Amino acid sequence: MKLHNIIFCCYMFLSLSVNAQDMTDYTDNWEGKIKNSKTFHLKIELHNAGTEKAIFKIYNNENSIDFPYKSSKEYQIKIPLADNLFFEGVLAKNKKEINGFIKSGLLLYHLKLTKSKKNSYTGNWNILMVDELKSLDFYLSVENGSKEAYQAYPILGDNRFTGTWCDNFQKENEVISFADFKTGLAFKGKLEPNSIQLGIYLANHLLTKIDLKKSKTDWKIGGFGTTNSTSILQLPELENRISKDSLPNTHAVLISTKGKLIYEKYFDGYTENIPHDMRSAAKSISSAIVGIAKDKSLFKSVNQSIFDFLPPKYQVLKDSLKSKITIQSLLTMSSGLDAIDYGINTNPKSPATEENFQRTKDWIESILVTPMINSPNTKANYGSANPYLLGIAMDSLVSEPLALFMDNHLFQKLEISNYIIQTDLNGSPYFGGGMYLTSKDMLKFGELYLNEGQWNSKRILSKNWVKDSFTNYRVLENTKDKNGYGYLWWHNTYDVNGKSIASIEARGAGGQYIFVIPSLKTVVVITSGNFRNGKTQQPEMILKNYILPYLK
């Protein structure tokens, strides 16, 4: 009996020891080193496509993951890899490449797999957007620890990666786990007395391990310098101000005139190969997809009600006023819904603001139950709910997945392959913004509109759609400058040396701009990282003061 009690007490002591980790003790800043700069530069191989012995392989310099699958169709490929992780693509008719997407988390990563040998296709997947890390520093902020509760946020020393959106914080004995619902990466850490052994996983497969110790000094993030490039135009004053940080967080400036690239500079370690978070500047790409669908007669008129394109379950939300919300209403931010999420928000509690509807399980319903503050097509107020509904409408029209439609009819024709699409909760492209394109590819898109729908002598958009898109329909009531607005394109005018220069612009939070300047036959792209310092419109000042005066 005494032996039994001793064994029981030992068991209880060991159990208490295992469960003794209080997250209060781990609430701190932690840091470690990633083993290799190309850890997140993943290689993709697809072997024996179209056979019963097909294998989809993902690997880095540390680990390899094989996903066997059976293929029933040769040209249409869909490979389930894990929960919320799959590949979907289309084999080109000449069988030389496969264009498609890996869906991981909320992102659709475009992949171009090129035939390398018989029944084998290869490509690259940069899950953190960059092909090689400039810093191996990895930081973890453990916050609000209390017994079993905590939050944890990974941060890279290479801040060209736009960051994680972590949730689902769990703790079981000495193991903590959480996930980045943006990229789909999962994190699992073992709590040691003076360290955290953190593993980073894809679909329950280990990509790398990092030994984290408590930070003793301030974190060192970014600061990677300028990438040299050849430029015909010289802008020394601009570059001097950027180097002295008086134009902070400017990542790239590109200028083309008459289709010729005359200026291209990258800063803070950015390069021509890194897709940049466009934020709401991608709304203008959404407009182009609507135009392509219209040009292909997938719908009759921009004057059709949005309810013509919605599933039956939402028809009960239609009333006499909301039934007048048309495709054009949404393109011009003139739906009349209380969906304002830019500048002065008259009703921050409205369920249709982007911050609010994205927190709900049914984004469509959250938007459509919102009260009307104006009759449709009378006043314009900027809000991402409008283009989101456009995406739902376009998704209902195409026979293939919407992302593949976009790739086939826009991006492949612009020879754009290195890009990422943010999705909604159902995995469809989010038309409210959030695409990632390289600055050079953003320039191509601007040139498409400057050339009235043509690029490299190829017709991609009808001339009429570009004309309609650039028409100034209404003033955006909820913006400081009261800008005019077209089909998801901004209007602005710059006074330079006594002359007024009109510009039509794609704009995104943080300072992502595509300026189309018809009178100068010029396109300017500026990408930035001013997300929290109030300098989101800095590119307008750069254009006016440091670029336009030097353009002939």
Taking only the tens place, the pLDDT of each residue in 333-343 is: 999 999 887 55
d(CA 29, CA 143): 9
pLDDT tens digit sequence for 462-477: 999 999 999 999 999 9
Single out the residue in 214, 246, 268 at which a domain terminates.
214
DSSP E strands in 234-349: the ranges are 250-257, 260-266, 276-277
pLDDT tens digit sequence for 140-150: 999 999 999 99
Single out the residue in 126, 152, 186 at which a domain terminates.
126
Single out the residue in 214, 245, 261 at which a domain terminates.
214
Contacts of 415 (CB under 8 A, 6+ apart): 444
pLDDT higher than 60, residue 315: yes
Q: Is residue 162 part of a domain?
A: yes
Task: Indicate if 400 and 483 belong to the same structural domain.
Answer: yes
d(CA 124, CA 57): 11
Q: Is residue 70 part of a domain?
A: yes
Task: Indicate if 113 and 147 belong to the same structural domain.
Answer: no
d(CA 339, CA 341): 6
End-to-end CA distance of the chain: 98
Domains: count for the chain: 3
Task: Indicate if 395 and 494 belong to the same structural domain.
Answer: yes
Task: Indicate if 117 and 146 belong to the same structural domain.
Answer: no
**Domain span including residue 536:** 276-550
pTM, full prediction = 0.94
Q: Is residue 458 part of a domain?
A: yes
Task: Indicate if 357 and 492 belong to the same structural domain.
Answer: yes
Task: Indicate if 361 and 465 belong to the same structural domain.
Answer: yes
pLDDT higher than 70, residue 111: yes
Task: Indicate if 167 and 307 belong to the same structural domain.
Answer: no
Task: Indicate if 312 and 440 belong to the same structural domain.
Answer: yes
Q: Per the structure block, which two tokens stand in for 172? A: 């079981």
CATH number at residue 491: 3.40.710.10
Task: Indicate if 180 and 327 belong to the same structural domain.
Answer: no
Higher-pLDDT residue of 340, 294: 294
